[in-house]
Structure 1
Amino acid sequence: MEMECLTEFPHNHMDRHPRKRPRMAWDVQPPLKAQLGLSCGQEVGDVTSFLSSSAPSDHTCSSVNVKGLARNGSPPWREDDKDGHFMFAVGENLTSRYKIYSKMGEGTFGQVLECWDRERKEMVAIKVIRGIKKYREAAMIEIDVLQELATNDKSGRCVQIRNWFDYRNHICIVFEKLGPSLYDFLRKNNYRSFPVDLVRELGRQLLECVAFMHELRLIHTDLKPENILLVSPEYVKVPDYKASSSSSRSPKDGACFKRLPKSSAIKVIDFGSTTYEHQDHSYIVSTRHYRAPEVILGLGWSYPCDIWSVGCILVELCSGEALFQTHENLEHLAMMERVLGPIPQHMTKRAGRHADKYVRRGRLDWPEGAASRESIRAVQRLPRLQNLVMEHVDHSAGDLIDLLQGLLRYEPSERMTAREALRHPFFARPDHHPHHSHHRR
């Protein structure tokens, strides 16, 4: 339910609308291809490995029962599309248990469908994986990770898997239904920044999730605003004094108000790239804007690559826009130097064979190696980290800058851990205990 009320909050706390909401499970688009029968998966309570070749069935596949066909019958069999995505129509069944209400999103892995769970009488989000071997294999690993998280998750910060099954050659993972991602929320807000007190609440929960994962020896590797969901879609509109003082915007386009989530509760999603500590860590990970320097330089990576991503995310929540908006490695490294100062020579000198072309005489080959003048200008336009924060944050700026400098240290071994970050003074405000953050005062 979208709410527009301006009186929810006392004026002296106008900038404090923390709302923690886990983002729904993925932007995925489900390929809907099927053999007539379906092999059923198991409810999450059953911890047998998901990597076993046959999935034990713990609910009846009644779509094949003649009795249930009128209401719960199987949809017609269809070919997948050319990319292996499941083809479906709204209103059809996905097994006899789930009815498809809408498509919530899509991604390289498949689609996410909003469905009604007839058994539990609730809406769920089902990630329908493309019917292609490598995506199916990745989905089985993700299910294993989700199981482990569900068994251990005391933080409540990871999206909950409800069930999984294999339907017409598509692995389907059933999740609790959450609200929009932080990225979607920013986008609908015309990329206006969040107040620093809300950033504090979001950052605390995100770091709680990362600390919990790292203690299980898991590395997420793809933290970004798209993979952090608000638990609830409700928001309020509050006056946006910065926007309303700008004569270039007309009041008609809603520029005088901005949205704030009613609750600051969030959950992290998309464990499709999650890796265990002991696995090979030489390949490229993370979505570009949130990728750590050691990944780009080919130096190997571990838990600290998640911490770098958290730093980039916190800056983006404060400013409204991604910190490093680039698609090219050398430009990306040059942007880091512009915002954070020079990369240590011991890192540039050790650059892997694919990255050594960005380095000359132990330093970044910039601006000499720049692809264009526009690229050089894009780097020059960036402010230093301190200036960027001061421009957008009205209080707590000193603590936030100090925290970000710890999260965005070049040398991975010197970067803060998630637990260290949670003890930072930025999070030490006693009136903002995480478990009470959604109670308004």
Structure 2
Amino acid sequence: MTEFEDRFSQINIGKSPTRRKKAYPQHLYPTPTRDSEPHRRTPQSTLPPTPQLSNPPHTPSRAISNELKSKSTINHQDHRIISYPMSEQQGSKKQFQFSFMRETWSSQQKKNIGPLTNTTNNPLTMSKPVVPTRKRSEQRKSSQTSRPRRLASNTVPIKLQLSQATNILSDFEISSPTKPKTKYHHPNAASPIKLPTATHFNPPTRTASNSSDNVFNRLYPKHEQEAPPRTIKRTRPKISNIPELYNILSRKQPDLFKCEDPPVLNSPIPVDQVPMNSLNIYERGEIIRKSELYYVPTECRTIDVKNSANNFGFDDNKGHYIIIPQDHINYRFQILDTLGNGSFGNVILAKDHKLNSTVAVKVINNNLNWSLQAVSEIKLLKLLNEKESNENILRYITHFNFRSHMCIATELLSLNLYTLLELTNFQGLSIDIIKIFTKQILNGIQYLHKYNIIHCDIKPENIMIKLPSTPNSTDISIKLIDFGSACYTNETSFTYIQSRFYRAPEVILGSNYNEKIDIWSFGCVITELFMGSPLFPGKSEIEQVGLILELLGSPKSGTILRMRRHLTRSHGDNHYLENSLSIPNEKQLKRTLLFKIFDINGKLNLQLVNSISAATGIKRQFKVNSRGLDIVMGLNKPGMTMSPYNKSTLLRFLGKIFIWDPIERAGASELLQEPFLL
């Protein structure tokens, strides 16, 4: 024992080794051969070998003791006793990987009995050691380059080694990964020496009081106090009914509710009674060509006859008509205010002096393309208003050309649905209000589809409300507006239509489309009215596809293949329009998402979708079918006051709208018969 104590006294206390190197007996190290590199020999120690750990790691070269092999294969041919140095780190990981669990009788035996026990005589035997298998090529190589190695002649029997090791280890309580660290006082040392141990997690000492606790309390004894209760975020209450909605709107903008006099037809002003001094030279020439005059401004408008680039001073640099309050439009409409503007032009609040009513005048941009689109809108409006009256379609009054600008006069409405959400702080509407809005919007869409007209741009900004004259009323009228992008079902030649948040998947993919794209946009609108925020707020088309994939899953392969076939066939039929800007060529067809993100069999390539989205600056990785419609809409959140019947019928209603295949998507007539609206 003197040599053993001297070795421990030489340990450097200043260092804290993370791994303790075992001192194995001399006979366990193989003798060097002529072909192999000489092994480093360690001085022979009087300390008996430490019990080895179970499940040794695989090493490419190992020597099996002939003596032990002959003894083990007599009664147990399946047991192979391997006598070679084993890695302490790997063995400790295997032995103590479940050290946080409760100790059992078998786990205690694993810590006290090593794998070198004789299975025939020792009743406290472990499970038979697992010998790592090697590949055939590795075995063939080792058999050719290595020789069988024998143990030294002074080999100590296994039972004697274990007994000696047990007696010595019982005299010194050495720190282990499963016990608290203790200090060993050397008799010749002035201060206690701390033995180096393996860097493993040391669980707390278990007693009878905490042996039945869960794993978390045993691993983290400091966190015994309970965590504070988690605050549940409740949803904001929805606007329950129409009177509550009108009350909010009247507080925000009282002028939305105003009483209008019934229209009265006024007589035109004679030309000889018009004061010519208040007009410029350009306007004097206009009056001569006008057959009827109803309003003439008292102040003269400044123009630049030499500036023909900006329409003689009537337009700005972008081609928009310069709006001046109290000025006239076509000597009939008095400009009161500007309701809105955009790339199409301006919308003016004006007084119609012919009918003595307030109307909205849409002044189109002085551009050929916008003018042609305005002509198409005028034709559709006249058709929809002449066939039969529909209360959910914008009422057309008249149209004319004024100073190179196409103008459309329509009835005046109060506000659009986006402004409604904005005035209500995007709080969202209740199911009762949603049902009223849904019926009227669907009624207008059904009327359009009856005459084979596709709106192509249904969104909250293009759906307006006509409010009553007083907020105490419960009447409400919803109307579809802006038919500038509308077309007939047999004239679907535009590829870039619909606003992105409300764009149907067949339009995003670049496939052919029909009137079902209006149904998809309608579904996005009513969910936004309920939630207060868009359902698919994609910043790009690829992100829009990813959001749809998360909610609806991947489309069927047959749907994609059919879309490709129909698109290719329609492109072949329109080969004579190959140079047209509205018809894509064959190369442009292959660049569409319909051919790009699906393989030849029509199956989705999700990895490509995520890579394209990452290339466009989107950090989010999309997962198919990772969201549910009820979760996104918050139907299960605390504070959601909705009956189970309304919830189930709403999900069924939306389930017939949000479908990849437009053939399977329900139409307006079918949706009006759903239980949600009955």
Give the TM bin, normalised by the shorter chain: 0.7 to 0.9
Q: What does residue 240 of structure 2 align with? A: 15
Deviations along 1:60-102, whole A, 9 cap, x unmatched?
3438xxxx7565x774443311111001211111122111000
Alignment of 1:52-91 (within 5 A): 60-62=291-293, 69=296, 71=298, 75-77=301-303, 78-91=313-326
Q: What does residue 95 of structure 1 align with? A: 330
Q: What does residue 216 of structure 1 align with? A: 451
Deviations along 1:181-233, whole A, 9 cap, x unmatched?
00111012221111111111111111101111001110000000000001127
Q: Could you tell me how far apart the structure 2 residues matched to 1:393 and 1:312 are?
A: 22
8 Å CA contact retained: 1:198, 1:264? no
Q: CA deviation at 1:236?
A: 6.3
Letter in 2 for 1:366: V
Q: Could you tell me how far apart the structure 2 residues matched to 1:82 and 1:377 are?
A: 41
Q: What does residue 394 of structure 1 align with? A: 642
Whether 2:613 is the aligned partner of 1:363: answer no
Alignment CA distance shift 1:423-1:293 (3 Å): same
Q: Could you tell me how far apart the structure 2 residues matched to 1:318 and 1:419 are?
A: 22
Alignment of 1:234-245 (within 5 A): none
Alignment of 1:229-308 (within 5 A): 229-232=464-467, 263-281=475-493, 283-308=495-520
Alignment CA distance shift 1:386-1:159 (3 Å): same
Letter in 2 for 1:321: S
Q: Could you tell me how far apart the structure 1 residues matched to 2:492 and 2:515 are?
A: 13
Alignment of 1:394-433 (within 5 A): 394-395=642-643, 396-428=646-678
Residue aligned with 2:612, SS: coil
Q: CA deviation at 1:397?
A: 1.4
8 Å CA contact retained: 1:294, 1:301? yes
Residue aligned with 1:311, SS: helix
8 Å CA contact retained: 2:314, 2:322? yes
Residue aligned with 1:370, SS: helix
Deviations along 1:22-58, whole A, 9 cap, x unmatched?
x9xxxxxxxxxx9645699xxxxxxxxxxxxxxxx9x
Which of 1 and 2 has greater Rg?
A: 2
TM-score, with normalisation over the residues of structure 1? 0.74
Q: Could you tell me how far apart the structure 1 residues matched to 2:554 and 2:297 are?
A: 67
Letter in 2 for 1:409: I
Q: What does residue 310 of structure 1 align with? A: 522
8 Å CA contact retained: 1:335, 1:382? no
8 Å CA contact retained: 1:289, 1:322? yes
Larger RCO, structure (CA 8 Å, separation 6 or more): 1
Alignment CA distance shift 1:134-1:14 (3 Å): closer
Q: CA deviation at 1:382?
A: 8.1
Q: Could you tell me how far apart the structure 1 residues matched to 2:672 and 2:314 are?
A: 49
Q: Could you tell me how far apart the structure 2 residues matched to 1:187 and 1:309 are?
A: 20
Letter in 2 for 1:118: H
Q: What does residue 172 of structure 2 align with? A: none
8 Å CA contact retained: 2:377, 2:484? yes
8 Å CA contact retained: 1:74, 1:95? no
Alignment CA distance shift 1:204-1:337 (3 Å): same
Structure 2, gaps ≥5 residues long = 1-237, 247-255, 257-280, 304-312, 565-588
Whether 2:629 is the aligned partner of 1:385: answer yes
Deviations along 1:265-288, whole A, 9 cap, x unmatched?
211100001101111346121111
Q: CA deviation at 1:387?
A: 2.0
Q: What does residue 410 of structure 2 align with? A: 175
Alignment of 1:104-143 (within 5 A): 104-143=339-378
8 Å CA contact retained: 1:74, 1:96? no
8 Å CA contact retained: 2:352, 2:358? yes
8 Å CA contact retained: 1:91, 1:100? yes
Letter in 2 for 1:335: L
Q: Could you tell me how far apart the structure 1 residues matched to 2:533 and 2:429 are?
A: 11
8 Å CA contact retained: 2:467, 2:475? yes
Q: What does residue 541 of structure 2 align with? A: 329
Q: Could you tell me how far apart the structure 1 residues matched to 2:446 and 2:630 are?
A: 26
Q: Could you tell me how far apart the structure 2 residues matched to 1:282 and 1:415 are?
A: 22
Letter in 1 for 2:642: D
Alignment CA distance shift 1:80-1:329 (3 Å): same
Q: Could you tell me how far apart the structure 1 residues matched to 2:659 and 2:286 are?
A: 50
8 Å CA contact retained: 1:229, 1:267? yes
Residue aligned with 1:414, SS: coil
Q: Could you tell me how far apart the structure 2 residues matched to 1:267 and 1:416 are?
A: 21
TM-score, with normalisation over the residues of structure 2? 0.49
8 Å CA contact retained: 2:449, 2:515? yes
8 Å CA contact retained: 2:610, 2:622? no
Correspondence for 2:424 among 176, 189, 209:
189
8 Å CA contact retained: 1:39, 1:167? no
8 Å CA contact retained: 1:74, 1:93? no
Percent sequence identity over matched residues? Answer: 26
| Deviation beyond 3 Å, 4+ runs, structure 1 | 34-40, 68-71, 73-77, 233-237, 261-264, 347-352, 372-383
8 Å CA contact retained: 2:297, 2:327? no
Whether 2:587 is the aligned partner of 1:340: answer no
Q: Could you tell me how far apart the structure 2 residues matched to 1:404 and 1:273 are?
A: 25
8 Å CA contact retained: 1:117, 1:123? yes
8 Å CA contact retained: 1:125, 1:177? yes
Q: Could you tell me how far apart the structure 2 residues matched to 1:99 and 1:169 are?
A: 19
Alignment CA distance shift 1:235-1:406 (3 Å): farther
8 Å CA contact retained: 2:610, 2:621? no
Letter in 2 for 1:363: L
Alignment CA distance shift 1:103-1:14 (3 Å): closer
Q: CA deviation at 1:371?
A: 1.9
Q: Could you tell me how far apart the structure 2 residues matched to 1:186 and 1:112 are?
A: 21
Letter in 1 for 2:671: A
Q: Could you tell me how far apart the structure 1 residues matched to 2:543 and 2:596 are?
A: 13
Q: Could you tell me how far apart the structure 2 residues matched to 1:376 and 1:345 are?
A: 28
Q: What does residue 142 of structure 2 align with? A: none
Residue aligned with 1:164, SS: strand
Alignment CA distance shift 1:133-1:35 (3 Å): farther
Q: What does residue 266 of structure 2 align with? A: none
Alignment CA distance shift 1:121-1:234 (3 Å): closer
Q: Could you tell me how far apart the structure 1 residues matched to 2:541 and 2:503 are?
A: 10
Letter in 1 for 2:293: S
Letter in 2 for 1:359: F
8 Å CA contact retained: 1:39, 1:165? no
8 Å CA contact retained: 1:124, 1:176? yes
8 Å CA contact retained: 1:165, 1:171? yes
